[in-house]
A and B are shown apart, each in its own frame.
Chain A
Amino acid sequence: MLSPNLIPYRRNTNNPDNVIRIIGSGSIGGKAQGLVFLQHLLSSSEIFNSYPEIQVIVPSLVIIGTDVFDVFIENNDLQKYMDSDHTDDQIAHAFQQAELPFLILGDLRALVEEIRNPIAVRSSSLLEDATYEPFAGIYTTKMIPNRQFDPDFRFKKLSEAIKFVYASTFFKAAKSYRDATGHDHQEEKMALIIQHIHGTRHQARFYPNMAGVARSYNFYPVGRAKPEDGVVSLALGLGKTIVDGSLCWTYSPAHPRIAPPYGSINELLKNSQTEFWAVNMGTPLIYDPIQETEYLIKADLSTAERDGTLKEICSTYDPQSDRLQIGMAHPGPRALNFAPLLQLKKFSFNKIIKELVRICEEELENPVEIEFAMNFSPPSLGLLQVRPMVVSSDDIQVSEEDLLDQNALAASENALGNGLIDNIKDIVYVLPETFELEKTREIADELEQINQELVNKGSPYMLIVFGRLGSSDPWLGIPVNWGQISGTRVIIETYQAGLSADMSQGSHFFHNLTSLGVSYISLPKGGKRELDWDWLSEQKEIQRTSHLRHIELKSPLGIKIDGKSGKAIVLKSRGDND
């Protein structure tokens, strides 16, 4: 039943480029299915031949089947950690002490002797495959340099990475996610992908010139762009920047020359990427096999400039004209707006992406999300993942008049989700008077606690926060993971003075929320309606912490979200909505 592109791993043989090899047996999980599909697409479609200047590939990979995961868990008696209260670190540590099944050891050793490139060990979950639900960002990916001279050392690092990714199946966020999606923990099995990282080495750093995510449906079209045009996010370096929800460049592939609607050049500069992730090819900062970023480093744009990796993706601010000049002919602040690529069209990058998204959408009969990485010299586009997007189709309409309803707690033209929600009586909100960016980690901890109480009680709730929820950067918003807010059904992100970050849109965190049916309402600065803070403060308080307030309403809120127009209204009482 294997795809023609999927063959068992054989040692001591030359493997053709257009195949994916599997070690062990069992399922290959959702992510790997996506890669097998992409590999098949590339080898069977001639469409990409029209763009000879860019090589389109699926970077070489080997899959480890889910049966290996089962044997690993059973042999080492690790199942007990599934229903325990152990912390993620304790679980990761226990997994590090465990032994990988003998069945794969020889193949893994042969693999590290075969590969001398940096590699990423990525999860490929069975549930992701079976349910078509994206588990992006829920499980861990570990990147390792794999360049040490001694194969024993490389083998050890690969084993550690595998055990760490396996352990992430048992981490708190993964458990919460499965609970929220109604899955039994026992159902989940993990296949693994061991894949070459698509990039090039620049001294002690290994990274692609650019990583990106292309989605065929845009929840937040701006200007002339339509939702069906899709949206592309780009970042310098590893895709972690995008996955984590950090600053990156987002544009509509139908209008690649149109920049996001920043009010000024200054705002654009502040909201464009200034740091990037790379694999650390030098001495690791610290030995820590249970840390996802053990072999990753962050560097700034001046480093990238020295590496010569900015040329195709940046513009330079010219203070005399107060404008951005495409490229880097002159010294000055660099802005990563990808203008040489998108405006000068040095490569057919955007055309290929559009074509790719179109074909994948056709073949998978669903809106899709594609992850990729690109090198410019020589130009090659590495496809890293394709997965379906969940886009609601209920016919709900919110009119302009609705937005002006006097009984509204909030109204927005930037909402995501679709449908009527009328069972929420609990609201948890960040206290505006005590909110400070330097306290966002504390807020995350407090939120986790309240969330747990509400989940135990079985009460869905609405969450109101400032900034970019789920950002890994605490200076952009509250750095929660999914598990810490698993009971929320509606999220309102609003602004506060001094907080310059974009809202969550576009991040993986955000995508997961939406696919789980969590509605999302954005109240950006300058929006038509302000949140009614006074009304909130008058409601019955259940709990108050240093930074949060939990209130319970007498009657449920009336929430109406129009997925097509992106308009949403939150009425203070369901009754007014009847």
Chain B
Amino acid sequence: MEDTSYNPFMMAQKQFDNAAELLELDQSTRDLLRFPLREYQFSIPIRMDDGQVKVFRGFRVQHNDARGPGKGGIRFHPQETINTVRALSMWMTWKCAVVDIPLGGAKGGVVCDPHDLSLLEQERLCRGWVRQLARNVGPLSDVPAPDVMTNSQHMLWMLDEYEAIHGAKYPGFITGKPVGMGGSLGRTEATGYGVMITVREAMKELGIDLSKTTASFQGFGNVSQFAIDLYQQMGGTPVCVSCWIQKEQKAYSFFKKDGFDLKQLLEITDHFGEIDKAKAQDLGFELLPAEAWLEQDVDLLVPAALENQITGDSVNKISQQVKIIAEGANGPTTPEADVVINERGIHVIPDFLANAGGVTCSYFEQVQCNQNYYWAKEETLGKLDQKMTSAYLDVSKFATKNKLYMRDAAYMISVDRVAKACEARGWV
């Protein structure tokens, strides 16, 4: 079902147009990069547990593979649209380019709600998706990964189907597999740690002593938890984190003025990432409204939950003390809010740079799979640190040199790298 009120693909194209303008790209390059190179839309008939056949709609969009095989997740979502997948595949192209890994951008999805499907039905759906695309994806062409409502089990089913079709072992076909079944150590930490690596470098550049800073986080999922973990390891003081309470269908901000200890908070958090409100209050947390995480007098804000969280309305609630916003989530800031943040001189680490730790580690996983040789965790995380640090420094140096907003600088670097790859191949 097409959502007519918000078209993420148009937003992605607008962002690209802006970068293309700044880079003064020629028309043919713009025409090539404004749209995906290939799109696959297909039907997946699945025999349900009750014996009936249900047909699901599936997608795979390969936006650009000039720099290497496509890379991007597969989303299972009832509101999935081709435009969302197109936008996300384009963002994947820029994300891989900004951290300078040899991969292109792709994305896939199935219109479905896994909550309504049994595990067997989910397995058939995964295998059905691969049967439709087995000739168009693969370790050398397009490498899928988990995304919204898909996990490592889904990836294993897909891998198994792919290997059955091709009659050989191809662990590099898909990433996000469990450790021991072709997965990479360090993948769990990668996105959250990646966010904080960029924050660390930003603070060094801005001359801020990280150990004297405070931070507020939106969301308490995997990204946020590991971002807080590293922030605390580096000496920072987290004071606020917002968290979704499923039963109440609303979020709260958990605030502790003098800072909280992640380990203590995790002890009262269930495996869905939901904090026990009552126990938190016993530990001295104040329970504040959901959006309060944005309003705290802190040095660092880390939106690590959903898109469109810092809007034209809420942006003015950001404290004057805030010096850095590190976007752990994809697209947490609307374009209107972005203008205000830019004017206020807050240092933004844009989403596709800040949260690129995940795809970087996926790339490492694929490299390990292709070698069939797996690294120690410290090797993976050490390389992650290096990649993320270099990526951040590339963007920030470029921004400083050309007096650019960080988001624009990141876009220009990415688009330029992809455009040059297309040109070098003789495509444009």
Contacts and interface: CB of A to CB of B under 8 A. Distances in A.
Contact of B379 (A10, A71, A107, A152): A152
A102 B234 CA distance: 10
Interface string B350-387: 00000000000000000000000001111101111110
Interface string A149-162: 00010011001000
Nearest to B226: A102
Nearest to B193: A102
Interface string A128-165: 00000000000000000000000010011001000000
B389 interface: yes
Contacts of A159: 378
Interface in B223-240: 230, 233-235
Contacts of A106: 197, 382, 384-386, 388-389
Contacts of A11: 386, 389, 393
A109 B393 contact: no
B142 interface: no
Contacts of B234: 103
B83 interface: no
A109 B382 contact: yes
B204 interface: yes
A103 B233 contact: yes
A22 B339 CA distance: 39
Contact of A105 (B204, B381, B390, B393): B381
Q: On chain B, which size bracket covers the interface?
A: 20 to 34
B327 interface: no
A100 B378 CA distance: 7
B377 A99 contact: yes
Interface residues of A, number: 20
A79 to B, nearest CB: 17
A109 B233 contact: no
A10 B385 contact: no
Interface in A151-191: 152, 155-156, 159
A573 to B, nearest CB: 61
A81 to B, nearest CB: 20
A48 to B, nearest CB: 34
A93 B390 CA distance: 34
Interface string B180-209: 000000000100010001000000100000
Nearest to B397: A12
A109 B383 contact: yes
B378 A12 contact: no
A154 to B, nearest CB: 11
A101 interface: yes
Contact of A12 (B189, B197, B383, B390): B390
B190 to A, nearest CB: 11
A10 B390 CA distance: 12
Contacts, number: 50
Interface string A104-134: 0111111000000000000000000000000
Contacts of A105: 378, 381-382, 385
Contacts of A12: 389-390, 393
Contacts of A100: 378
Given A102-B193, A106-B386, A155 B379 contact: yes
A152 B379 CA distance: 8
Nearest to A11: B389
Contacts of A71: 233
A388 B379 CA distance: 39
Interface in B317-373: none
A96 to B, nearest CB: 11
Contacts of B230: 102-103
A245 B265 CA distance: 55
Contacts of B388: 106
Contacts of A155: 379, 382
Nearest to A10: B204
Contacts of B389: 11-12, 106, 110
A66 B80 CA distance: 51
B378 A99 contact: yes
A106 B189 CA distance: 14
Interface string A68-110: 0001000000000000000000000000000111110111111
A12 B393 CA distance: 9
A11 B193 CA distance: 18
Contacts of A101: 233
B128 to A, nearest CB: 39
Contacts of B384: 106
A272 B342 CA distance: 73
A261 to B, nearest CB: 54
Contacts of B193: 102
B236 to A, nearest CB: 12
A101 B385 CA distance: 12
Nearest to A12: B393
Nearest to A103: B233
A156 B383 CA distance: 12
A156 B197 contact: no
Nearest to A156: B379
A276 B234 CA distance: 44
Given A12-B390, A12-B393, A102-B189, A108 B382 contact: yes
A71 B233 CA distance: 9
Interface string B25-43: 0000000000000000000
A103 B189 CA distance: 13
Given A12-B393, A156-B379, A159-B378, A102 B204 contact: no
A106 B389 CA distance: 8
Contacts of B390: 12
B191 to A, nearest CB: 14
A225 B379 CA distance: 55
A110 B386 contact: yes
Interface in A1-59: 10-12, 25
Contacts of A109: 382-383, 385-386
Contacts of B393: 11-12
A13 B419 CA distance: 29
Contacts of B383: 109
Nearest to B390: A12
Nearest to B385: A106
29 contacts: A10-B204, A11-B386, A11-B389, A11-B393, A12-B389, A12-B390, A12-B393, A99-B378, A100-B378, A101-B233, A102-B189, A102-B381, A102-B385, A103-B230, A103-B233, A105-B378, A105-B381, A106-B197, A106-B382, A106-B384, A106-B385, A106-B388, A109-B382, A109-B383, A152-B375, A152-B379, A155-B382, A156-B376, A159-B378
Q: Which 9 A-B pairs have the closest CB atoms?
A: A106-B385, A105-B382, A109-B382, A109-B386, A100-B378, A99-B378, A105-B381, A102-B381, A106-B386
Given A102-B189, A102-B381, A106-B388, 6 more contacts: A99-B376, A100-B378, A102-B378, A102-B385, A105-B381, A110-B389
